[in-house]
């Protein structure tokens, strides 16, 4: 470990202003409930899950890096649009069978065999499996669910359909009628009853699986569940803050804007909680439809960091960040033919390169590792965040995030003065990159405490640089550059 003194460089940097926070000695009234052991998880698109696990060495190492921080393997969800295009084939010896014209395409139809579930069973962490409801072949979905139940000791939950708010009247599940919120609610409950009846199981369905909060919502679904709530393991939302037409990295990563974006989910989380069930973001990431160039950036990593803190504060149990079609997100080598069309997606790793967003996931996991509660010290009404993180009722870490958007010129900074500290010094680890638009595949690697993740393997590399700050009369001061975060260890 290399140490450098924060306090010695402090007065050399220009600050936009100064902020002061007292770190409460016990969790304040606006602290979160109990944080789950591994709140940051991964969602792998259904058709390409076998390829992620079998063909990309980074997959296991990237997940293991997170496990090494918390002691718990991150939860994995296997699903997405292609779960509702998939048919189970008990006689197939292949995990998945499909054809696509290009490695950038997702198949419009596919089959999968029993070995799909054996492969999922090999993952050391908990797994949510997303099955098909759209095609209205319930006996087929039950056949697949029975194999998942039998093969997977790590099975956490089963989804019955992905984003049914996007199903249309002509989909088989609509049975010739209008596909409305009421139709979906009745359908979800009918399927929960039949699937769980055949599995002789309860507490096993990840329900809802809605994109956004309107026109279909967990508030609406939970109102109809009745006794079928016993079949539900958790209630699930999908969230992508940005979509085509409005890509804006400044807004994506902005602390106050994140608070505004996640607000509608408070009622969804409350609806799940009122039914005695956890809430999850079963699929989430920065931007839909290719991401408009913002998704593979360091700013998207900073979004992940603050978004995880804010949603965990609201009471969500876990977030599963979606990893899509590998051909779209592999950040190809500049020498490869694919580089003519550089990917714009949000994947954390690809076949060749790492993605900048992974650094945010790693830092968020580090911040919440082995913690019980997180509390906001700021009012979520500015660009500058501060969180106190508690273990057994005492503060153990403070996370500082300066969400000012930095691309060129002089990098501004924010000074945070923290009071209520004990001891004579504290250490800190910094998450930084050349700027908010930095991409690994463009040669601008972010770093966590000076270290980075190797392209193609996700192995952590470099010498760790831990900073120290002097505590005097219970106070210490920290400087956080625009588009940077700092994790202070108390």
Ligand X SMILES: *[C@@H]1O[C@H](CO)[C@@H](O)[C@H](O)[C@H]1NC(C)=O
Residues of this chain that interact with ligand X (CB under 6 A) are: 28, 30, 137-140, 142-143, 194, 197-198, 248, 250-251, 254, 257, 333-334, 353, 376, 378-380, 407-408, 434-435, 437-445, 452, 454-455
Residue with smaller CB distance to ligand X, 153 or 335? 335
Residue with smaller CB distance to ligand X, 44 or 440? 440
Q: How far is the CB of 356 from ligand X (least distance, A)?
A: 9
Residue with smaller CB distance to ligand X, 165 or 295? 295
Coil, strand or helix at 204: coil
Beta bridge partners of 321: 42, 284
Residue with smaller CB distance to ligand X, 340 or 424? 340
Q: How far is the CB of 141 from ligand X (least distance, A)?
A: 8
CA pair distance 103, 111, nearest whole angstrom: 18
Residue with smaller CB distance to ligand X, 153 or 245? 245
Q: How far is the CB of 313 from ligand X (least distance, A)?
A: 8
Q: How far is the CB of 263 from ligand X (least distance, A)?
A: 11
CB 326 within 8 A of CB 56: yes
CB 323 within 8 A of CB 42: yes
Token pair in block for residue 296 = 């593979």
Buried b / exposed e across 456-479, counting CB within 10 Å, b at 16+? bbbeeeeeebebbbebeeeebbbb
Q: How far is the CB of 79 from ligand X (least distance, A)?
A: 19
Q: How far is the CB of 471 from ligand X (least distance, A)?
A: 21
Residue with smaller CB distance to ligand X, 38 or 56? 56
The CB-nearest residue to ligand X is: 197
Q: How many other C-beta atoms are found inside a 10 Å radius of the C-beta of residue 410? A: 8
- The single-letter DSSP state of residue 182 is H
Dump the DSSP string for 355-419: -THHHHHHHHHHHHTT-SEEEESS-S-SSEEEEEEEETTEEEEEEEEE-----SSSPPEEEEEEE
Q: How far is the CB of 123 from ligand X (least distance, A)?
A: 25
Residue with smaller CB distance to ligand X, 257 or 467? 257
Residue with smaller CB distance to ligand X, 21 or 320? 21
Residue with smaller CB distance to ligand X, 102 or 139? 139
CA pair distance 285, 302, nearest whole angstrom: 12
Q: How far is the CB of 407 from ligand X (least distance, A)?
A: 6
- The single-letter DSSP state of residue 228 is G
Q: How far is the CB of 257 from ligand X (least distance, A)?
A: 5
Q: How many CA atoms lie within 13 A of 279 on its CB side?
A: 27
Buried b / exposed e across 109-139, counting CB within 10 Å, b at 16+? ebbbbbbbbebbbebebbbbbbbbbbbbbbe
CA distances from residue 127 to 74, 112, 143, 350, 418 in whole angstroms, order as listed: 9, 17, 18, 21, 40
Beta strands 318-323 and 279-284: pairing type? parallel
CA pair distance 361, 321, nearest whole angstrom: 9
Residue with smaller CB distance to ligand X, 165 or 316? 316
Dump the DSSP string for 245-275: T---HHHHH-HHHHHHHHTTHHHHHHHHHHT
Q: How far is the CB of 78 from ligand X (least distance, A)?
A: 19
């Amino acid at each position: 470990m290399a140490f450098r003194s924060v306090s010695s460089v402090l007065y050399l940097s220009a600050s936009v202003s100064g902020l002061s926070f007292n770190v409460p000695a016990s969790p304040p009234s606006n602290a979160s409930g109990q944080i789950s052991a591994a709140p940051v998880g991964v969602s792998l698109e259904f058709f390409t899950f076998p390829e992620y696990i079998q063909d990309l060495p980074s997959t296991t190492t990237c997940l293991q890096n997170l496990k090494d921080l918390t002691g718990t393997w991150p939860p994995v969800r296997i699903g997405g649009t292609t779960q509702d295009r998939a048919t189970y084939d008990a006689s197939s010896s292949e995990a998945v069978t499909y054809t696509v014209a290009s490695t950038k395409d997702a198949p419009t139809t596919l089959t999968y065999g029993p070995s799909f579930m054996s492969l999922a069973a090999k993952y050391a962490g908990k797994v949510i499996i997303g099955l098909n409801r759209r095609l209205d072949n319930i006996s087929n979905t039950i056949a697949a669910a029975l194999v998942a139940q039998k093969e997977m000791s790590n099975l956490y939950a089963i989804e019955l359909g992905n984003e049914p708010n996007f199903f249309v009247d002509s989909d088989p599940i609509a049975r010739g009628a209008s596909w409305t919120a009421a139709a979906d609610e009745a359908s979800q409950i009918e399927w929960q009853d039949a699937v769980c009846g055949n599995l002789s199981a309860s507490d096993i369905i990840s329900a809802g699986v809605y994109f956004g909060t309107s026109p279909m919502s967990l508030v609406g679904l939970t109102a109809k569940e009745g006794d079928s709530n016993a079949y539900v393991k958790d209630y699930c939302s999908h969230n992508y803050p940005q979509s085509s037409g409005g890509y804006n990295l400044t807004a994506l990563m902005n602390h106050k804007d994140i608070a505004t974006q996640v607000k509608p989910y408070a009622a969804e989380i409350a609806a799940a909680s009122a039914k005695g069930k956890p809430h999850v973001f079963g699929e989430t990431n920065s931007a839909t439809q290719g991401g408009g160039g913002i998704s593979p950036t360091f700013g998207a990593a900073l979004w992940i960091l603050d978004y995880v803190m804010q949603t965990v504060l609201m009471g969500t149990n876990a977030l599963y960040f979606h990893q899509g079609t590998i051909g779209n997100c592999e950040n190809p080598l500049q020498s490869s033919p694919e580089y003519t069309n550089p990917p714009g997606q949000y994947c954390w790793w690809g076949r060749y390169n790492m993605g900048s967003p992974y650094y945010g996931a790693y830092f968020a996991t580090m911040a919440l590792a082995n913690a019980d509660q997180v509390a906001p010290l700021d009012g979520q009404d500015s660009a500058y965040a501060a969180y106190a993180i508690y273990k057994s009722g005492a503060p153990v870490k403070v996370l500082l995030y300066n969400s000012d958007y930095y691309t060129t010129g002089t990098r501004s900074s924010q000074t945070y003065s923290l009071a209520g500290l004990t001891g004579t010094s504290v250490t800190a680890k910094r998450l930084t990159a050349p700027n908010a638009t930095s991409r690994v595949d463009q040669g601008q690697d972010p770093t966590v405490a000076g270290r980075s993740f190797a392209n193609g393997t996700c192995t952590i590399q470099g010498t760790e640089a831990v900073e120290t700050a002097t505590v005097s009369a219970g106070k210490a001061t920290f400087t956080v550059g625009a588009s940077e975060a700092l994790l202070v260890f108390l």
